[in-house]
Every structure is written in structure tokens, then in C-alpha cells.
């Protein structure tokens, strides 16, 4: 099998995976509402790796939708330090592609035992994580064989969008949801920008990926995909945080990947791009603005992270191949990490 064949095949399944999930959005909403505490005091999300990046997106959407605080739970507090926390009134959401990461399953169980209502998001409806929840959001993305998660990540992002839709007002419409699979198809069929960007980065050993607001989780996921497939030392960082101490590392020729979409955070990221270029940085942009290096089709900001992640997957695969690596099976990595 050619290098990267599995990754590109699984990336190509994403429009259909998303379309199937959208078709069952109302049933999913009923399941979520049935277990959500009333009144809802807040939400705690438990995840690692790519699922954690999807959770950053979920944190923004859920806090907007519910008007209640949303936190990213720290498994170490419960598993290593024995923290005793009252989770009554909380919705605990645990996210794992495999449903077999022990610390995620155990943490969800402990939050549930501490009073939370538990919701599991996983691709394996028969997994331990699925059994630990009061309700399940099954991704139904099919088996994912390439080590870098692709279709399960975008399915997790969509799962959070649909959960937020179930619990409150969201920054996208049902028509926007219906258009999402076609937007992903548009990106998948437009490979050349990713190849050009990969050529521009092929000799680099480090990279910063930046965004703000709803796209921050997508920036984190883009950095991870570049790390694990191509071996580049990529760091995801908020555009606001980058302006502080970290900007000191950005000197002449330093590569930066900036993600943005029309919305409240757009101007801030655009101003940062100008600042970075004034410092001599080589900035590549993912967005729908004219002249973007990695263009996106018009997508409402609330769903743009899903499409931006697909563009980042494309770049990661092309950069890995350009550097003589097999993105399907990065050296030293396994599909399931047991922490």
C-alpha cells in the first residue's frame, strides 16, 4: 500500500460521516436533553489528544449555548491526587475515539459518582466509555486504521456542535449544518494549495500554528497533525497569547500558520498576521479571505473549525510525504494510547 493511502481514504470519507451525523441530529438532541441536569450548573469535558482539541471547540460552543461555565477536566486530579469534587448539576462529557483510554473511562466514572450526568462521545458503541455514560453520542465513522485521526476528529467536532444545538442557541443554522459536508468536499477536491504549502515548509523544523476564539481548537489540532505525521515541532497557541512572550521566537523566516474565519476574532488574527510579517515571519493562512494560502469555502464561523481541520489534515499529509515519511504509520506511534 502506498504511503498515506489509508489517511487519504479516511479523509475522503468525512463528508459522508458528517452527513450521516447531521441526519440524526434531532435524535441526538433528544438523548442529550434527556440526561442534562435541570438546571444545568455547568459542563466538564474529559479528553486527551485530538479529542481534547475537539473539546476546546466544544468548550467555546457550549458556554455560548448554555450560558453556564464549561471546564476541561484534569484527569490527573482525580486519578493521581484523589480530588473530591462535587459535580452535582454538571454535565460531564467524555470524548475518546476508541472508547478504550483507561483514564478517560475512569475519570468519567468518578465524575458520575460525584453527582454529574455522564455523556460519552466515541466511535465504538461497544466500548467501556460508551458503557460508562448515561447517554451516548456514537460517531459511527467506521473503522479508522491510519494512526493520525481524521474522520473521527471532524465527527467529534460535529458532535459538540450538535450537543450545543441541543442545549441552547448556537452560532449556526440548520441550513449551515446541511451545507457543511459539501464544504468539506470542496476542500478535499482542492489539493494543490496544500502541496504548495508543504513545499514551502519542507525544510523547516519548527512552526507555530495560531488562531483565536472558535478556531483555537482547530489550531491545536493542526499543530498535532503536523507533529505526528511530518515530525515538525509545531506548537498551537492562541493569537492573544502569541502576542505576549512567545512572539520573541518569531524572527526573520520563522514559519507561522494562521487560521481565521469571518467573525468576532477575525480582525484580531488579521492584525497579528500583519505584525508577524513585519517581524519577517513567513505566514501561511487558512481562511476564506482573498489570497489565503490554504483557502476555505464560505462557512459560518460556528462550523468553520471543522472545515479548517480538514485543510490542516491535507497539509499534514502532503508535508509528511514531501519529507519522505508515511503519514499512515508515524514511527513510534500507536492508534490507541493507554494512559
Distances, alpha carbon 320 to alpha carbons 307, 310, 331, in Å = 20, 15, 12
Three-state secondary-structure class, residue 30: helix
Q: How many CA atoms lie within 13 A of 299 on its CB side?
A: 30
Cα–Cα dist 160/155, whole Å: 9
Beta bridge partners of 94: 46, 120
- CB of 335 closer than 8 Å to CB of 12: no
Euclidean distance between CA atoms 63 and 213, whole angstroms: 12
Q: Choosing from 24, 195, 243, 335, which is the catalytic residue?
A: 335
Active site residue 225: no
CA 132/CA 130 separation, integer angstroms: 5
Q: Which residues pair with 286 in a beta bridge?
A: 259, 294
Distance CA 226, CA 228 (A): 6
Q: Environment class of residue 190 by beta-carbon count within 10 Å: exposed (0-12), middle (13-18) or buried (19+)? A: middle
Which residue from 249, 223, 222, 244 is spatially nearest to 234, judged by alpha carbons? 223
Cα–Cα distance, 31 to 28 (Å, whole number): 5
Q: Which residues are catalytic?
A: 335
Amino acid at each position: 500500500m502506498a504511503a498515506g493511502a489509508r489517511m487519504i481514504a479516511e479523509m475522503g470519507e468525512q463528508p459522508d460521516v458528517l452527513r450521516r451525523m447531521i441526519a440524526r441530529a434531532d435524535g441526538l438532541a433528544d438523548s442529550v436533553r434527556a440526561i442534562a441536569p435541570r438546571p444545568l450548573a455547568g459542563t466538564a469535558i474529559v479528553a486527551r489528544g485530538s479529542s481534547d482539541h475537539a473539546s476546546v471547540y466544544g468548550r467555546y460552543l457550549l458556554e455560548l449555548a448554555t450560558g453556564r461555565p464549561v471546564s476541561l477536566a484534569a484527569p490527573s486530579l482525580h486519578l493521581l491526587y484523589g480530588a473530591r469534587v462535587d459535580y452535582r448539576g454538571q454535565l460531564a462529557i467524555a470524548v475518546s475515539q476508541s472508547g478504550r483510554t483507561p483514564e478517560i473511562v475512569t475519570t468519567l466514572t468518578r465524575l458520575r459518582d460525584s453527582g454529574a450526568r455522564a455523556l460519552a462521545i466515541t466511535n465504538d458503541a461497544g466500548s467501556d466509555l460508551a458503557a460508562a455514560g448515561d447517554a451516548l453520542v456514537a460517531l459511527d465513522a467506521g473503522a479508522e486504521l491510519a494512526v493520525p485521526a481524521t474522520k473521527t476528529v471532524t465527527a467529534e467536532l460535529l458532535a459538540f456542535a450538535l450537543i450545543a444545538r441541543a442545549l441552547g442557541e448556537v452560532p449556526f443554522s440548520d441550513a449551515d449544518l446541511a451545507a457543511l459536508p459539501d464544504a468539506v468536499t470542496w476542500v478535499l477536491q482542492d489539493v494543490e494549495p496544500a502541496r504548495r504549502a508543504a513545499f514551502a515548509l519542507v525544510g523547516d523544523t519548527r512552526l507555530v500554528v495560531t488562531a483565536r476564539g472558535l478556531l483555537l481548537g482547530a489550531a491545536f489540532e493542526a499543530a498535532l497533525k503536523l507533529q505526528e505525521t511530518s515530525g515538525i515541532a509545531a506548537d498551537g497557541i492562541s493569537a492573544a497569547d502569541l502576542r505576549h512572550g512567545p512572539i520573541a521566537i518569531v524572527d526573520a523566516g520563522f514559519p507561522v500558520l494562521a487560521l481565521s474565519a469571518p467573525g468576532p476574532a477575525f480582525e484580531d488574527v488579521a492584525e497579528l498576521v500583519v505584525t508577524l510579517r513585519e517581524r519577517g515571519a513567513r505566514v501561511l493562512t487558512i481562511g476564506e479571505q482573498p489570497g489565503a494560502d490554504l483557502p476555505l469555502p464560505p462557512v459560518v464561523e460556528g462550523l468553520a473549525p471543522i472545515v479548517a481541520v480538514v485543510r490542516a489534515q491535507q497539509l499534514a499529509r502532503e508535508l509528511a510525504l514531501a519529507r519522505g515519511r508515511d503519514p499512515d504509520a508515524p514511527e513510534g506511534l500507536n492508534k490507541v494510547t493507554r494512559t
